[in-house]
Amino acid sequence: MRFFRSLDPVHAMTFDLDDTLYDNHPVIRRLERDLRSWLIEAFPRLQQFTEDHWRALKREALQSNERCRNDVTFARETQLGYAFTRIGIIGDAQQQAIQDTMHQVTLLRNRVQIPEETHSTLKAIVAKLPLVAITNGNVDLERIGLQGYFAHTLKAGPDGDAKPSTDMFLRATKLLDTPASSILHVGDHLVSDVLGAKAAGFQAAWFNDTSKGIESQVKTKVMPDVEINRIEQLLHFI
């Protein structure tokens, strides 16, 4: 743990989810692999689509609609719509195809392994402080077993623009009825989490479980207040 500023007393915490409370990278890799297999089985004409094709459709979706840049679920639905249109599935049939595919996405997206350290740490913190989850993703906290720790869950899209926008941070201050300066936000991303939190007046804990220090991070826009390497180090602040 490294301190870059002295912290004020912490009266509440907000948490990023993906790659902070659990390792999300293998989840997404498995999702994309298994979803492609399911799509090809359900819609054989999609076999012609390579990974490059899917990436191009994602770029097209992100460029076509600002909502796609702030809502990962809507972005995937839009990407799928483009793919189905290209193989001649349109209208009501397309809407049903998107709905069926998104059901598979939900199942695959929430196959998350939560470390025991995450559970034990959150259990100890929530006994002392209120917690809010703030995510740019679309994981379902109830499905992955984390719902009970958080008073509220804010998701980019339905609850405001994606981090580092201050939308969800400012909403969290109202939900917590706590001054921003008394809230510690915890997250792994130096832009989405640290920059966003500091812009909203929060204190920021950067979760870094890699061997690379902040000095080597090209994404650093503003320094966090503290760097932690294990989630259980947050117990220091309660």
Active site residues: 16
Hey, is 230 helix, strand or coil?
coil
Q: In what order do the strands lie in the sheet with 131-135?
A: 2-3, 226-228, 203-207, 183-187, 12-15, 131-135, 152-155
CA dist 92 and 87 (Å) reads 15
Beta bridge partners of 134: 154
Secondary structure in 3-state letters for 37-100: HHHHHHCHHHHHCCHHHHHHHHHHHHHHCHHHHHCHHHHHHHHHHHHHHHCCCCHHHHHHHHHH
